[in-house]
Amino acid sequence: MTTQGRLEFDTPVQDPVGFDIGWEHARHALAPPPAWLGPGSALRQGWEAGQARFGRRTRAATPSVREWLRLRLQAWERGRDFETLQVTPHFLRQIEVGHCPVTREPLTQALERPTDACVDRVFDAAGYAAGNLAVMSEGANRAKGSRDLAQVQAQLQRMARGGLATLDGLGADQWERVGTLISFVTPLSHEEAAKLPLHLLPPPRLRLLNPVQGLQALLTLQLAHPQWSARLARIVALFEALGLRQDYNLFIHTLIPRLLAAQVRDGDPLRTRWALEDAWSHEALNRRWQRLALRLDAEACETLVGRMVARGLAPQSVLAHAPEQATEGWALERQGFAPPARRRAPQRAAGR
């Protein structure tokens, strides 16, 4: 979004991002936080200009709109880059989940509890951009903080050495899920990514940067489909063409019993998902997956995923992104921060 055609002031706006956030608050008849309405505040200028333009012709402030504006304000406050073309209220609705992917607790809304839902930048050195955002609980988000994959693995090592049941509020299984989540958006070598257990299935619209994890997730998710047996039988031909039929069968026939042992009743989608994630804690499954995955390379994994999608064997919607497009808008060259020209300190109201 731009501010072109919106300005109501004769003087130029030095902070168009703050101005635009204020403008959108006015468009949806929302008052910005008083802390940012001090004299000279660009956000206040945008809000007042928007009020003059829209009057009573405003739009509904839906929960997703409120969250979108909260995130934009948060990014502006922190000097972080926010990609506005794809991260919209509609996008935020698409990534909503009912349970925290880390703690598995039901998410609450705006109760000021650790279980409240929030949107997290999964890869901390990237901005607020499509593919790098996931919904989790406030408690899980605080524990995760700005940690990268290596730091999460260090947490797990500390717990193992000290015999700790929890660390920073999370148990070992929950830290494993945090590590898997971060690994999805962390560029890794094929060998590194192939050796990681799938302790967490990808949340909605998260971009998996490592092709072997995309294949790993797509194969695992087959068992969440009611016709998984017939689908797996169709997939075997793809691996047979690569001379990997035996390795594929060994892996699949180690995964299937893990799901059956969980005894998920009535095909409950959420319980099935958790059972599949828990299956990856078994050493035999990881050993047989690595035997299969390490006989492939990243290009072969991409090809297999593409063929599965083309044959209608993706259990859910899958979007393929070219490598140069996968992190588009992430501001990786600036570690996720806004350009220096847009990183002016916002003006708070006096006494706040």
Do 194 and 78 fall within a single domain?
A: yes
Do 69 and 183 fall within a single domain?
A: yes
List beta partners, residue 20: none
Do 199 and 338 fall within a single domain?
A: yes
Per DSSP, helices labelled H in the chain are 16-27, 42-54, 63-78, 89-94, 138-144, 149-162, 172-184, 190-194, 211-221, 228-240, 245-261, 269-279, 283-293, 298-310, 323-326
> Is 349 inside a domain boundary?
no
Kindly tell me if the per-residue pLDDT of 6 is higher than 60.
no
Residue 344 pLDDT: 54
- Sequence-distant (6+) residues with CB within 8 A of 274 are 104
Do 169 and 98 fall within a single domain?
A: yes
Boundary (domain end) residue, out of 41, 61, 81: 61
Q: Which of 7-11, 89-93, 95-99, 125-129 is predicted with the least confidence, judged by mean pLDDT? A: 7-11
**Interatomic CA distance for residues 147 and 125, integer angstroms:** 10
Do 81 and 227 fall within a single domain?
A: no
Look up the CATH number of the domain holding residue 175.
Answer: 3.30.40
Do 189 and 335 fall within a single domain?
A: yes
Torsion of CA 255, 323, 135, 20, to 10 degrees: -170
Do 73 and 176 fall within a single domain?
A: yes
Do 117 and 200 fall within a single domain?
A: yes
Average pLDDT over residues 271-284: 97
> Is 350 inside a domain boundary?
no
pTM above 0.85, yes or no: yes
Q: Which of 42-46, 124-128, 261-265, 306-310 is predicted with the least confidence, judged by mean pLDDT? A: 261-265
> Is 347 inside a domain boundary?
no
- The total of structural domains in the chain comes to 3
Residue 193's pLDDT band, with cuts at 50, 70 and 90, is very high
Do 167 and 77 fall within a single domain?
A: yes
> Is 140 inside a domain boundary?
yes
Residue 347's pLDDT band, with cuts at 50, 70 and 90, is low
* Tokens 């060259």 -> residue: 333
Kindly tell me if the per-residue pLDDT of 87 is higher than 70.
yes
Average pLDDT over residues 73-77: 95
> Is 72 inside a domain boundary?
yes
Residue 223 pLDDT: 94
> Is 183 inside a domain boundary?
yes
Do 195 and 97 fall within a single domain?
A: yes
Q: What is the pLDDT of residues 112-133, one digit of tens each?
A: 999 999 999 999 999 999 999 9
Sign of the CA dihedral with 294 first, then 296, 302, and 305 last: negative
> Is 352 inside a domain boundary?
no
**Interatomic CA distance for residues 277 and 258, integer angstroms:** 10
Do 184 and 77 fall within a single domain?
A: yes
Q: By residue range, what is the domain housing residue 122?
A: 62-207+326-342
Do 151 and 168 fall within a single domain?
A: yes
Residue 343's pLDDT band, with cuts at 50, 70 and 90, is low
The closest alpha carbon to 58, from 32, 30, 24, 27, belongs to: 27
Average pLDDT over residues 9-24: 81
Q: Which of 26-30, 126-130, 345-349 is predicted with the least confidence, judged by mean pLDDT? A: 345-349
Residue 342 pLDDT: 64
> Is 348 inside a domain boundary?
no
